[in-house]
Structure 1
Amino acid sequence: MKFFSKHKNILIILSFALFLRLSLSFFGTLQLDQGTFVSWSMELARNGFKDFYKGWSDYLPGYLYFLWGLGKINLLNIFPQVFLYKIPAILSDVVTGYVIYEILKKQKSERWGILGAIIYIFNPAIIANSTFWGQVDSLTALASVTAIYFLDSKYIFSAAILAFGTLIKPQVAFILPVILMMMLKNKWGLLKATKYLLTGLFVFILGFIPFTQGNLPQ
């Protein structure tokens, strides 16, 4: 309860943003893209990972893990597909808004944090991309800001998030120069920086293994 009372303002804003997105999620769907996601997810849910890339796919493994989970849920016929397959992007929008709030609150003030979160989560382009079109860019945005947020406090986790985000879309790797600049600014030692880079490389490689060596449990 202390957390909710302390963060009441931002939680109200994020709750409204979530409600707005869920209400609009049945509209504006890019049928071709969502149809592809549904097809991939059902293939993954039914047959696992090992032989997936024998068919056509232009996605790295990162988002395919989400599609595997969505496919398992879709088999239960609980949620409409048009709603279900937008949930990861919608939730990512909201969490990204919160991370932006925390970053700016730490660097500036709570007022700046709230303003930054509002600018992001109510940006029409952000809403269109996740809520209407059902694209995955919200997940990569979340990975990028989360990697920055945890760089000082939990740098191994930051490296893992950055690597997994790159497994979703390679564009996440473009945040690496910012990470390196922050390392220099905070006077990281060579050993710590090497651990960060090797952790990221390990997670990135690990993401491919189920697609080459075997399947996760069915």
Structure 2
Amino acid sequence: MRETTGSRANYGVLALILIVGFAVRLWSMRWPPFPIDMNDWIAWGEHVLRAGPSGFYTDTLFSDSAPGYVYVMRLTAAIKNAFFASADVGTYHFLYRLPPVLFDLATTALIFFTVQRVFDDQPQPVDQPADTSATSRSRLSLAIVAGAAYILNPAIILNSAIWGQIDATFTFFMLLTMLLLLQGKLEGAGVSYIVAFLIKPQAISLAPAIAVLVLMRYPVRRWLIAGAIAIVMAYSVLFPFLGFNAFGRLYTLLNKSIETYPYTSLFTYNLWGIYGFWQDDTVPLGAGLTPRLVGMLLYIIGIVYGVALMIRQLRRATNDALTVFFFSTYFTFLPVMVTTRMHERYLYPVLPFLIIFAFMYYLRNHSGRAFSAIRGVLNVPFLLYVATTALHTINLYYVYLYYLHYDTGGVDRANTLFYFIEGTARLWSVLTLLIFIGFALMAPSWSLPRRDEQPQLGSLTDGEPA
């Protein structure tokens, strides 16, 4: 009976967090969406509704979107035309911002329950018997802080509820992929990852972490089954748009998309933001090296570094959750910081992985001692989450206002905050890069736990998946 009551309390608290988060997002929708992106969503939705999936990609309509999210655009356009045909464009703005908002809520729920699950796997404080009310309160308070810190994150709200971007959708499936892998559900993880990739190919950033975990923790038979299911899933999604040569046409489409913006940094605070925004990344820096090539070399070096450390840690440990979330954060952070052609929004997927890692790190370091939500937010990874959030919010705010007023003579000079941010862009780039470098360099020195010390999730911790 106590377990049922506790479960009901957990669901009740989660529901309250989600309601508050949803209400904040509804209120935030009073601001206009990002004009360029929203106009694209509306045009693409209307086009695919008229022409059908097979007629979506044409030379007469610019589209650099992967097919996955076009299904959502088609459904949105169909709802608008069926039920709100006479409504103004504001209805479209709401309808297109609603899916990412709902995925924000879903991601928050994953974070909430993941933190609770990790808490349950910790040794209880020696001075506190198991299943006491104090333990239950600690468990719930940590989950509340983690969920609230994500759902009320200003960068997350600005991205989905105001801007109207879709990063929340594929990020949810990236997070779900890693959780399923940690629970021994390789086939489901494969499907989830394919969905993430086909919504936005940026999900490829997570591939090194997935590959290392799968190769080291799953037998070949499971690889083959999961791979076959993923290929069938991908082909089924792509075929209506790209036909029998779906994979070949997808490759061409992605290459074309990459070449849309051949510049150093598209206002992103990263290495190339220090060098300069919107510089041609094919112009040699010297010795025949272009920014594009330097960025790719740094990315390859970063992958080798991360893969080597992740393999080392997985060989030392049998419980993998802390390691997996550390390197999921690292690998999603890496390309945004060192490669060219990065949009400011691409930092988004780092945040859910980082906040889960922060609470796993705290729980592991306080194993066997009384847990406190206050101490939980004072650990180094959580402070990095806060700093990354602040810098990412500044970045999004600047770009949002810049383009919102692009056709009307620019942002009002009275907005001193905007022009202060603009004048100190290199500083923000340096700070963001330092956060990443600090996080990356901590990998070999942080006391990542050996053997049975790590927070654990599901069947992977019980032995090799069958």
Q: 2:142 and 2:222 mapped to 1: Cα distance? A: 31
Structure 1 pair 196/208, CA: closer, same or farther in 2 (3 Å)?
same
Quick one: distance in 2 between partners of 1:107 and 1:181? 22
CA distance in 1, matches of 2:145, 2:210: 24
Which residue does 1:146 correspond to in 2?
Answer: 176
Aligned residue identity for 2:47: E
The 8 Å contact of residues 10 and 140 in structure 2, kept in 1 or not, is answered as no
Q: Distance in 1 between matches of 2:220 and 2:12?
A: 41
In the TM superposition, residue 148 of structure 1 has moved relative to its aligned partner by: 1.6
- 1:24 is matched with which residue: 24, 28, 33? 28
**1:22-75, Cα deviation, whole Å (9 max, x unpaired):** 222231311221011001101112221111101321011011010010010010
CA distance in 2, matches of 1:141, 1:71: 23
User: Given the alignment of the two structures, is residue 159 of structure 1 paired with residue 190 of structure 2, yes or no?
Assistant: yes
Cα drift, residue 189 of structure 1 = 1.0
Superposed, which structure 2 residues align to 1:51-200 within 5 Å? 51-54=55-58, 55-78=61-84, 80-108=91-119, 109-151=139-181, 152=183, 154-183=185-214, 187-200=217-230
CA contact (8 A) 2:22 2:105 kept: yes
One-letter code aligned to 2:14: I
Which segment drifts farther, 133-142 or 20-29? 20-29
Q: Shift of residue 112 of structure 1?
A: 3.0
Instruction: Tell me how far 1:145 sits from its aligned partner.
Output: 0.9
Contact 1:160 1:203 in 2 (8 A): yes
Match of 2:270 in 1: none
Please say if 1:211 is aligned against 2:238. Answer: no
Contact (CA 8 Å) 1:70, 1:84: kept in 2 or not? yes
Q: Is the 8 A contact 2:170 2:195 kept in 1?
A: no
Displacement of 1:184: 5.3
* 2-structure distance, mates of 1:123, 1:209: 37
* In structure 2, distance between residues paired with 1:173 and 1:4: 38
How far is the alpha carbon of 1:5 from its aligned partner? Answer: 4.1
CA 197–176 in structure 1, closer or farther in 2 if over 3 Å, else same: farther
Identity level (%): 24
Shift in Å, 1:171:
1.2
Task: Please report the TM-score for the alignment, with normalisation by the length of structure 1.
Answer: 0.88
Task: Give the distance between the partners of 1:26 and 1:200, measured in 2 at CA.
Answer: 40
2:51 aligns with 47
Distance 1:160 1:138 in 2: 18
User: What SS is found at the alignment partner of 1:59?
Assistant: coil
Cα displacement (A) at 1:153: 5.1
Q: RCO higher in 1 or 2 (8 Å CA, sep ≥ 6)?
A: 1
* Shift, 1:115, TM fit: 2.1
**Secondary structure at the counterpart of residue 75 of structure 1:** helix
- Structure with higher Rg: it is 2
In structure 1, the residue matched to 2:271 is none
- CA contact under 8 A between 2:101 and 2:160: conserved in structure 1? yes
Partner SS for 1:119: helix
Q: Which consecutive unaligned segments of at least 5 residues does structure 1 have? A: none
